[in-house]
């Protein structure tokens, strides 16, 4: 019987070698991209971070809870060498659920941040939100909302949850107007009583003398 033919591997040509290298590079890039996605921080997109806290927990931690509409916003670099942007929103307050003593105007400032990582809210849209905030210790009437504070678009479900905790919201109270100030007028010293009565007494005396004279002239 003829012996079985022995199979031998042929040496790979140059194109096969190049193809193998390209395939290896692509596979390696895919693995690196996958690993990078897994290692990327959860807040890298600048969106609101996930929070396991309940509305009641967030409400207890907040110094003030209120609903309001974003009127306008502005942005500037964060101070102190911190990376990211600080966003200041002018908010027209609708109802105050907690912290009424801290809100003495119908419009307040709410500050959020936007950065390349961490937990932030970013820029809020011109819409109505339920704000869970802390007071800025340096500026009265200015509040800070973080990504995990609970601040979110106001909807029926969120309003229901908040009203179960704070059932009697009130509109904001305007700050008391400043006390009126009056300038003191410099008045002349009052005229002494005898001097004030003198012209009248003289008129009375003249009238009496005229009456006497008229009676004498009227005698036959």
- Strands 107-114 and 142-144, bridge-based pairing: parallel
The band of 15, judged by pLDDT with boundaries at 50, 70 and 90, is: very low
Average pLDDT rounded to a whole number, residues 43-66: 75
> Is the separation of the CB atoms in 65 and 141 below 8 Å?
no
* The predicted structure's pLDDT at residue 90: 97
How far CA 37 is from CA of 47, 119, 148, 174, in Å, comes to 16, 18, 23, 50
E strands, 38-84, are: 64-77
* The predicted structure's pLDDT at residue 138: 86
* The predicted structure's pLDDT at residue 41: 31
Report the range of poorest mean pLDDT among 34-38, 129-133, 163-167, 215-219: 34-38
pLDDT value at 27 more than 50: no
* The predicted structure's pLDDT at residue 60: 93
pLDDT, one tens digit per residue, over 86-125 is 999 999 999 999 999 999 899 999 999 988 766 789 999 9
Mean pLDDT, the chain, rounded, equals 75
Q: Hey, what CATH topology would domain 55-165 get? A: OB fold (Dihydrolipoamide Acetyltransferase, E2P) (2.40.50)
> Is the separation of the CB atoms in 118 and 41 below 8 Å?
yes
State whether the Cα torsion 8-11-17-19 is positive or negative: negative
Which tokens go with 140? 């009265």
* The predicted structure's pLDDT at residue 188: 65
Q: Alpha-carbon distance 133 to 146, whole Å?
A: 8
Question: Which residues 6+ apart lie within 8 Å of 67 measured at CB?
Answer: 93, 94, 95, 97, 128, 129, 130, 131, 154, 159, 169
Average pLDDT rounded to a whole number, residues 137-162: 93
Q: Alpha-carbon distance 149 to 111, whole Å?
A: 12
Q: Which sequence spans correspond to the domains of the chain?
A: 55-165
The answer to whether the predicted template modeling score (pTM) of the entire model surpasses 0.75 is no
* The predicted structure's pLDDT at residue 193: 63
Closest CA to 175 of 143, 142, 144, 141: 141
CA angle 151, 102, 46 (to 5 degrees): 25
* The predicted structure's pLDDT at residue 205: 72
The band of 141, judged by pLDDT with boundaries at 50, 70 and 90, is: confident
């Amino acid at each position: 019987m003829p012996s079985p033919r022995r199979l031998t591997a042929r040496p790979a040509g140059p194109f096969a070698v190049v193809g193998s290298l390209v395939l290896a590079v692509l596979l390696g890039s895919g693995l690196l991209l996958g690993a990078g996605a897994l290692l990327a921080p959860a807040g890298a997109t600048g969106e609101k971070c996930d929070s396991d806290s309940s509305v009641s927990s967030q409400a207890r931690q907040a110094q003030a809870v209120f609903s309001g509409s974003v009127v306008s916003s502005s942005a500037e670099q964060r101070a102190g060498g911190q990376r990211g942007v600080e966003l200041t929103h002018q908010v027209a307050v609708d109802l105050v659920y907690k912290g009424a003593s801290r809100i003495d105007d119908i419009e307040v400032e709410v500050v959020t941040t936007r950065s390349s990582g961490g937990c932030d809210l970013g820029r809020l849209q011109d819409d109505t939100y339920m704000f869970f905030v802390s007071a800025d210790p340096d500026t009265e009437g200015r509040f800070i909302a973080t990504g995990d504070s609970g601040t979110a678009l106001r909807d029926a479900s969120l309003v229901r949850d908040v009203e179960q905790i704070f059932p009697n919201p009130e509109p904001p109270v305007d700050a008391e107007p400043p006390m009126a100030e009056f300038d003191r007028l410099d008045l002349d010293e009052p005229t002494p009583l005898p001097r004030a009565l003198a012209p009248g007494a003289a008129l009375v005396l003249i009238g009496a003398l005229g009456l006497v004279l008229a009676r004498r002239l009227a005698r036959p």
